[in-house]
A and B are shown apart, each in its own frame.
Chain A
Amino acid sequence: MAAALLPLLLLLATGPGSGRADAGQERRDALREELLLTPLPTGDVAATFQFRTRWDADLQRGAVSHYRLFPKALGRLVAALGVRELHLALTQGFWRTRYWGQPPLQAPAGAELWVWFQPTVTDVDKAWKELSNILSGIFCASLNFIDSTNTVIPTASFKPLGLANGTDHHLLRYAVLPREVVCTENLTPWKKLLPCGSKAGLAVLLKAERLFHSSYHSQAVHIRPICRDASCLAMSWELRQTLTVVFDFFSSGQGKKDWSLFKMFSRTLTDTCPLASQSKVYVDISPKNKEKELLEVSPPPTSVHEAIVQGDKKTYAVYDLLSPSLFNTSRSLNVQLKWKRPQDSSEMPIPTLHAQRYVGGYGLQTGEICTLIYNTHPYRAFPVILLETVPWYLRLYVHTLTIITKGKENKPSYIHYQPAQDRRRPHLLEMLIQLPANSVTKITIQFERALLKWTEYPPDPNHGFYVGSSVLSALVPSVTAMKDMDVEQSPLFTSLFPSSDGSSYFVRLYTEPLLVNLPTPDFSMPYNVICLTCTVVAVCYGSFYNLLTRTFHVEEPSRGGLAKRLANVIRKFRGVPPL
């Protein structure tokens, strides 16, 4: 008995700090989590969760056998398939840049997957196919539908976001599945990848019933190699899981502009994840138009942080969940945002770069894809790369491509066009366009709709066929110059895109996906044809056959029943003719 108690006492005495497998190895991985609440100009509120696990190990050398915070499923995937960078996003809804401002991280509607492979990978297509199948099993999404008909190799967009010493674009693959639905079955495995699951820390707020009752829901996984420290002589692996959700002013907010964590997520924060080294909640309280603060937050924040995010100076109220003073007064933290005075709707700031896309034309034979890109900066021009992937069944006519800015034609400095091959490859159009200051650029291209084979139609063909969002990558001039900040100290939401100089910041926008109707056959026709053909054959051929082969012969009338026969016998005796 005493012998059994002794190890128990030892365990209790050393406490939670003794969770190490081998005494000599120091902790080489760290978890940081943060939540950013941004009230949007239209009264909605955007919440962005970021969970970052940084691991100082070399997955490529295969020396890893002990996974602690970094999930084993993703670690094994990166090691086995030679992945250098992986970005997967599952999104429901659309981010309205025009009304909500620049997004921290936007993703197109549906599923988007882009991957950079290591130079050591010999067959990139095979690795890509295996990767999409494995990810479809991990995330319960139909990523196994990614094949050569929706994969493209961009040449200028999607440069690596992590450390890279060469960018041969043949190692890059990009695919979008716009028809993909995102629901709780995608959120469940995403939550299971977090070290604390959804049991402690910021992830307790992630309840599906509230997250999907929103205008925009996007969850993403980003894996990339980053600098281990400022000298950048060694690399670490970073896994970043982000979730952005926009709660609608009318449906979730019940028409009132005051928000709180309980109103958004129907629960509050109670404790921190013991595995996290940093756990913070940021609330954007930047004053608009240089006036005094309009937004009041309660309870009072632990600190106020100023940062230059997306080229503009912003002020954030910070709640540090690891500071002991936060949970002193109450066991739970419910951040509340109240407006001091009603917001004037004419004050809505317009973002510097925004775009929209739509289908023009009529009928089921031809159409036109129009993209409008707006540059609202008063005096600066900047270049933007537009990447369009169009499925093969919309046959683009590149000679009808026109780019018009301010009434004049705008010739792009770089065009890469790869035509589609029926049932094998989609169209790829990449252009580098210079946007003059304060202008609208209209890009139009005409297409013709193809008739598919009748077995190629999905079970609901009258819904239409989706064309994935176009991607706009631009270096937008900043309002305020950014200084180089230490990546480890700055908030997570400022540090995904590496910035080379502070005068402009990199932004990636997506346009709307398009829904086009293809000419759909009547699927009951095979049945109708069989019925009609059988009827025609029966009537015509049958009659003809009868005419040829029918012979007529006289038939004795039947003798009649018993009574008639008896009557005939009697008549015979009488000598009268029979009946």
Chain B
Amino acid sequence: DQAEQFFRSGHTNNWAVLVCTSRFWFNYRHVANTLSVYRSVKRLGIPDSHIVLMLADDMACNPRNPKPATVFSHKNMELNVYGDDVEVDYRSYEVTVENFLRVLTGRIPPSTPRSKRLLSDDRSNILIYMTGHGGNGFLKFQDSEEITNVELADAFEQMWQKRRYNELLFIIDTCQGASMYERFYSPNIMALASSQVGEDSLSHQPDLGIGVHLMDRYTFYVLEFLEEIHPASQTNMNDLVCPKSLCVSTPGHRTDLFQRDPQNVLITDFFGSVRKVEITTEALSLDRDVAGCESKFLEEELATEPLKYAEQLPVAQIIHQKPKQKDWHPPGGFILGLWALIIMVFFKTYGIKHMKHVF
């Protein structure tokens, strides 16, 4: 039975795309939501190179933060989810609908660095977590644009067509979050939302020292749940259900597109990076002559005369870089002669009687 479970999921690597779409200080809780999922996912084994973290605003070093370089999730400043080892891939103005869709579909300009790309293949399990302000059928990005559920569903279909995922877990924590997964039509997607259509997701608790709400209720529950998980846990997705007393809103889920039974899906299939290890008893013989790679010393050309540093403020050189503007002089002889010739030709052709108009 354990062996059966071991081979069930069929993925070989894990990716996570964590997006916070809200700007401004009073949306501190959305950044804290995303960072708590980031922290859990890193703790369970997914490395920074496989996480695309998008934060639409900077809360940790915000001038309004009484404790700089920290983002707390529990009141009384118990847990700093920002930590000391964090790498944010898309920050501030870079979090736009266009960049998000480009990351998902892989249509990225060629000069984008590796850490900003989602380099998944057909055996990757991807976790996509989004949080922010949303409505029925849309999610607001940074107070200036929005992404609709139709666009999101189409993006996932593009990912499926390009075989960019094996299985996908989509979690959304916004108001009316269930509307965002209504339109999905690609296989192997499981979706969780913090509230149904017509309901609002509520925030958890304010901290009087910081002055804002620190987390949303659904993600607070998810964080507490994930703190109990370790890489060898056998907990499955059916255990991740937020009770009404804690969440107040009714969390939703969608599993009809998913081929496996949620009972058999481990939490670590998406949140952790559990590698499959094959133990072999055969012996491998390595080539003994490895150290023979020659280390070429390219003979360095020594300069014939000593190299020197540049002068930092070469005043004389700078002044003579541009020719000095000469002062205005009255026009010289050649110009005067040229003008006299032009005027003569003019009056010759049109007659001398025009001269009286001049004087």
- List A residues at the B interface (Cβ < 8 Å): 21-22, 24-25, 58, 61, 63, 66, 92, 129-130, 133-134, 136-138, 140-142, 144-145, 155-156, 159-165, 167, 179, 181-185, 188-189, 207-209, 211-213, 227, 231-235, 383, 385, 413-414, 416, 432, 458-460, 473-475, 497-498, 500, 506, 523
Contact = CB atoms under 8 A, between A and B. Distances in A.
Given A140-B89, A188-B86, 16 more contacts: A22-B295, A63-B296, A130-B111, A140-B88, A144-B111, A159-B314, A163-B309, A164-B309, A165-B307, A184-B83, A184-B86, A185-B87, A188-B87, A385-B318, A413-B318, A473-B312
Contacts of A231: 306
Contacts of A227: 306-307, 309
B94 A142 contact: yes
Given A58-B298, A185-B87, A211 B309 contact: no
B61 A156 contact: no
Interface stretch (B112-120, B203-211, B264-272): B112-120
A21 B290 CA distance: 12
18 contacts: A21-B295, A58-B300, A92-B61, A137-B115, A142-B91, A161-B312, A179-B92, A184-B61, A184-B83, A185-B91, A207-B84, A209-B69, A227-B309, A232-B307, A416-B322, A458-B93, A475-B312, A500-B311
Nearest to B144: A459
A315 B98 CA distance: 56
B219 interface: no
B175 to A, nearest CB: 20
Contacts of B322: 414, 416
B112 A133 contact: yes
Contacts of B83: 184
B302 A234 contact: yes
B342 interface: no
Interface string B102-122: 000000000111111000000
A475 B61 CA distance: 36
Contacts of A523: 144
A133 B113 contact: yes
B307 A159 contact: no
B72 to A, nearest CB: 12
B82 interface: yes
A265 to B, nearest CB: 13
B312 A183 contact: no
A416 B322 CA distance: 9
Contact of A232 (B87, B308, B314, B315): B308
A116 to B, nearest CB: 9
A506 B309 CA distance: 14
A24 B307 CA distance: 28
Contacts of A165: 307-308
B50 interface: no
A498 B88 contact: no
Contacts of B23: 459-460
Contacts of B84: 184, 188, 207-209
Interface of B: 23-24, 58, 60-61, 67-70, 82-89, 91-94, 111-116, 142-144, 291, 295-298, 300, 302-303, 306-315, 318-319, 321-322
Contacts of A133: 111-113
A163 B116 CA distance: 35
Nearest to B294: A22
Contacts of A211: 69
A180 B57 CA distance: 11
A506 B291 CA distance: 50
A233 B308 CA distance: 9
Given A234-B300, A234-B303, A473-B312, A155 B295 contact: no
Contacts of B112: 133, 137, 144
Contacts of B308: 163-165, 232
Given A155-B321, A184-B86, A459-B143, A160 B310 contact: yes
A94 to B, nearest CB: 13
B301 to A, nearest CB: 9
A459 B27 CA distance: 14
A144 B94 contact: yes
Contacts of A475: 312-313
A140 B87 contact: yes
A137 B111 CA distance: 10
Contacts of B144: 459, 523
Contacts of A61: 298
B322 to A, nearest CB: 7
Contacts of A167: 310
Contacts of A506: 312-313
Given A164-B310, A233-B306, A24 B295 contact: yes
A531 B46 CA distance: 49
Contacts of A141: 91
| Nearest 7 CB-CB pairings of A with B | A137-B113, A498-B309, A183-B61, A212-B69, A232-B306, A459-B142, A164-B310
B313 A159 contact: yes
A213 B298 contact: no
B321 A414 contact: yes
